[in-house]
């Protein structure tokens, strides 16, 4: 049987049925407004301005540890203080050890008085929150200056500690603790 040409194949294959085009609808008349449109009023202040002033620009990052999550913002302008959940960080982290954990990345980069640091932290315990804040500050510093990455990584501040509480398994007392049993 000889091979069919393209034109013959096209003639033999049926074309799918197409839907008919909709008739153009009759033009409707424009309705007159019942009340005249109110003129747009001037909004007091510049509440709807989307231009962020340079003083309000910040570098943001998130740090986590166990179940604690810290959202960190570094501002280059303003009073150079560290605020944790709208409180001074000395009040939120009362011990020197926790304070040292939080400001270690800034001390390592010699940037203690250079930034205003705002931290919103939730979940976990105080120690996990401090370590989450440290990771968040370190990540925000690398956003500010990528050259900081190598020194922060070498100090171990950019490593997310993956350890978390293991879930309890059925048939066991805790995650791994088996119920007591007697041999005889």
Stretch among 17-26, 42-51, 64-73, 172-181 having the lowest mean pLDDT: 42-51
User: Given pLDDT bands bounded at 50, 70 and 90, which one contains residue 15?
Assistant: low
Separation between Cα atoms, residue 134 and residue 129, nearest integer Å: 9
Per-residue DSSP letter, 163: -
Collect all residues with Cβ–Cβ distance below 8 Å to 102 and sequence separation of at least 6: 82, 84, 89, 93, 119, 130, 133, 134, 137
Hey, where are the domains in the chain?
55-155
CATH number of 55-155: 3.30.230.10
pLDDT tens digits along 99-147: 999 999 999 999 988 999 999 999 999 999 999 999 999 999 999 999 9
pLDDT tens digits along 32-73: 666 655 555 554 544 444 444 555 689 999 999 999 999 999
Alpha helices in the chain (DSSP H): 6-12, 89-92, 96-108, 126-144, 149-155
pLDDT tens digits along 140-160: 999 999 999 999 999 999 999
> What pLDDT score does 106 carry?
94
Q: pTM of the full predicted structure?
A: 0.68
CB 69 within 8 A of CB 132: yes
């Amino acid at each position: 049987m000889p091979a069919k040409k393209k034109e013959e194949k096209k003639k033999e294959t049926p074309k799918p049925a197409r839907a008919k085009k909709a008739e153009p609808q009759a033009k409707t008349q424009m309705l007159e407004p019942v009340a005249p449109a109110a003129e747009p009023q001037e909004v007091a202040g510049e509440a709807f301005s989307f231009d962020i002033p340079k003083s309000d620009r910040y570098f943001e990052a998130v740090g986590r540890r166990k179940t604690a999550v810290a959202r960190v913002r570094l501002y280059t302008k303003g009073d150079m203080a560290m605020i944790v959940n709208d409180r001074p960080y000395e009040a939120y982290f009362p011990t020197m050890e926790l304070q040292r954990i939080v400001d270690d990345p800034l001390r390592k980069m010699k940037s203690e008085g250079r930034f205003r640091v705002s931290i919103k932290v939730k979940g976990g315990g105080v120690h996990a929150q401090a370590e989450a804040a440290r990771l968040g500050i370190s990540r925000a510093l690398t956003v500010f200056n990528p050259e900081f990455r190598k020194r922060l990584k070498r100090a171990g501040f950019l490593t997310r500690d993956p350890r978390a509480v293991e879930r309890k398994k059925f048939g066991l007392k805790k995650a791994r603790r088996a119920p007591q049993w007697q041999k005889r």
